[in-house]
Structure 1
Amino acid sequence: MNWQAVHLHKEWKRFQQHCTFTFNGPLATKTEAQKVNYLMTYIGDKGREIYNTFTWIPEDENTPAENQTLEGVYAKYEAYVAPRKKLIRATVNFNRRKQEVGEKFNNFVTDLRILVKDCGYAEEERMVRDAIVLRSVHDTVRKKCLEKGDTLTLEMAINIGQNHEMSQESLKAINDEDPKVHTVRDKRYSKKKTEQHGSRSRHGTSKWHKQTPSPKACTKCGYSNIHKECPARNSKCNFCHKRGHYEKVCRNKLKTHIVDEMYSTGSSSEDYDSDSFSHEINIISNEEAEKTDWWEEVKINGKKVLF
């Protein structure tokens, strides 16, 4: 029992109902006096303090002592919490109760049914029905209830609210489903890269390009050609082992083979065809390559290419 509850009478009703279930269930075989003792263990320290303030009618020849029966003890506590039961305050609490966003409809209705008990209304069901119409969070529920007019009952209002909530949950479940979609992104070349390596035709043919050093760079050392004597004039290349240039500008090393394999899946790009493999071979060759270099013949898209 929570003696600090704002609605003490409501809290007492909840506690008393819990005790009734217990005494009629697992403790059904206990005597009346034993059940009273169990009640006093459940009621807490504050409840036992209140118990000590009560005046009890002693037993007589035909009637047991008042504090030896559940009925007698319940009556004392009912009288204790009754002054805290204010009809006007209860009515205010009932009329302020509205369904919150995200709150289950059944929880809203249950609270209304509990609050209306303390209001002293002669027609409790009609008041709960009206509260659903006025304070349901969903406009659709209120609209459908109003369409029923005077024929609307509490049961009908509850059915409308429950059906709307179920339909909203079903719709959300459908919208929240994440379909498993497997996509392959196209690998695309930028315009700058395309201009650097050459553009590929739709039939998979390739263009041949020769990589030339920057006009401002020395072809022997790779640095600015504004110098009296090249620092690489007496250096030995670590790649071809010839003298007169550095490895980074070695023409034999600049002979490269670049094969880019790109796969497109249904792209509308003008640069690539759908569902096709494309091979782009950019060969940076050296016209002065030594005859001792070896070449390999590769057949790509039905065409022979030497590299």
Structure 2
Amino acid sequence: MGIMSVRNLAVGNSVGEQMESSRAIPPFRCYEIEKTKLHKEWQIWKRSLEYYFEAEDITDQKRKRAKLLHLGGPQLQAVFQSLPNSEKFAVVSLEKAYYSVAIQAFDDFFQPGRQDVLERHILRKMKQQDGERFIDFVIRIRQQINECGVDKYEPEICKILSDIMLTDIIVEGCVSDELRKQILQKDRSVEEIEEIGKSLEGIQKQLKDLASSREEPKLYERVYGIQAKRRYQPSKQNRARDFQSKFKNPEIKCFKCGLFGHFSTDARCSAKGKLCNRCKKSGHFEARCRMQLGAPLWK
């Protein structure tokens, strides 16, 4: 391959990358998606496409179909070419519904990958997680309801079914017994249930914060009080001094120095460390030496 060919290939790749990055939304690579996830991914991609049309104020049916196929990419274009109903327009119509017909054909094609019964089973098992906000739980329920096939019905019926499912799952899966009790007492709208749930959650959080603030001084005293007690480890001399201070008696006489008011174990004893001239031992005065001609000095 010559230098010019390599350069042209590099330029081509660069142009392709720039075109890819300039797309409003990424192409829908349906051949690379698992069959069980194909319908869900198609719904997500189609929703992004509708947002794009709304942002760009694109309403013309023919232009919308052209954008659909252009943004969808080669794989979606190949599927479109094989769909039998992609050009099946109504016999009597003032304007051909190019986009609506194409979208319906794609919906029918990707529909078999969805299992509504399985999705409803997943919905019924949903529970509010520990620490999960009530509003986040409601959002998760709504997202799962959208996977249960309610979109095949008319908008009014779809909303009724969605509200019924949402209410049932909140009753079964919410962590608030008070919310469950209020829902079961009387029929309530979804909007009312959401408002009660958020209100009860806010009250519960305030009560928890208040209880925590009241507990902090006790916790501080309990923790630091125990630590202070454990940190204070009296020495042998201090224990003797504490004992003496508790049972201090002016009649007590130290047998090592002969003075009153303390025990022989007291660190303040004046005979501590002194050498006895009689027995040559340390810790007492000669006048208080026990040994005198082989017998105790005092009784």
TM-score normalised by length of structure 1: 0.51
Question: How many Å separate the matches in 1 of 2:79 and 2:208?
Answer: 52
8 Å contact from structure 1 (residues 19, 39) kept in 2: yes
8 Å contact from structure 1 (residues 35, 70) kept in 2: yes
Question: How many Å separate the matches in 1 of 2:172 and 2:201?
Answer: 17
Query: Which position in structure 1 is the counterpart of 2:205?
Result: 169
In angstroms, what is the RMSD of aligned CA positions? 4.7
Residue 16, structure 1, aligned to residue 46, structure 2: yes
Q: Give 5+ residue unaligned stretches, structure 1.
A: 220-224, 226-250, 252-283, 288-307
Q: For residues 23-62 of structure 1, what are the alpha-carbon distances to aligned partners after superposition, in whole Å with 9 as ceiling and x for unaligned? A: 211x336976665555446546654553343354399xx9
Query: Which position in structure 2 is the counterpart of 1:100?
Result: 129
Question: How many Å separate the matches in 1 of 2:242 and 2:132?
Answer: 64
Residue 135, structure 1, aligned to residue 161, structure 2: no
Q: For residues 233-274 of structure 1, what are the alpha-carbon distances to aligned partners after superposition, in whole Å with 9 as ceiling and x for unaligned? A: xxxxxxxxxxxxxxxxxx9xxxxxxxxxxxxxxxxxxxxxxx
Question: How many Å separate the matches in 2 of 1:8 and 1:46?
Answer: 13
Task: With a CA cutoff of 8 Å and minimum separation of 6, indicate the structure with the bigger relative contact order.
Answer: 1
SS in 2 for 1:169: helix
SS in 2 for 1:212: coil
Residue 144, structure 1, aligned to residue 205, structure 2: no
1:100 and 1:44, CA in 2 relative to 1: closer, same or farther beyond 3 A?
farther
1:91 and 1:58, CA in 2 relative to 1: closer, same or farther beyond 3 A?
closer
Q: Give 5+ residue unaligned stretches, structure 2.
A: 1-27, 247-260, 287-299
Question: How many Å separate the matches in 1 of 2:242 and 2:138?
Answer: 73
8 Å contact from structure 1 (residues 126, 153) kept in 2: no
Higher strand share: 1
Query: Which position in structure 2 is the counterpart of 1:190?
Result: 234
Q: How many angstroms does 1:143 deviate by?
A: 2.2
Residue 156, structure 1, aligned to residue 192, structure 2: yes
Question: How many Å separate the matches in 2 of 1:43 and 1:285?
Answer: 105
8 Å contact from structure 1 (residues 133, 157) kept in 2: no
Query: Which position in structure 2 is the counterpart of 1:51?
Result: 80
1:8 and 1:214, CA in 2 relative to 1: closer, same or farther beyond 3 A?
farther
Higher helix share: 2
Q: For residues 70-107 of structure 1, what are the alpha-carbon distances to aligned partners after superposition, in whole Å with 9 as ceiling and x for unaligned? A: 33432221111223344433432332233233332223
Q: For residues 96-143 of structure 1, what are the alpha-carbon distances to aligned partners after superposition, in whole Å with 9 as ceiling and x for unaligned? A: 233233332223222333433434485322232122112223333212
Residue 84, structure 1, aligned to residue 113, structure 2: yes
8 Å contact from structure 1 (residues 129, 154) kept in 2: yes
Counterpart residue identity of residue 155, structure 1? E
Counterpart residue identity of residue 212, structure 1? G
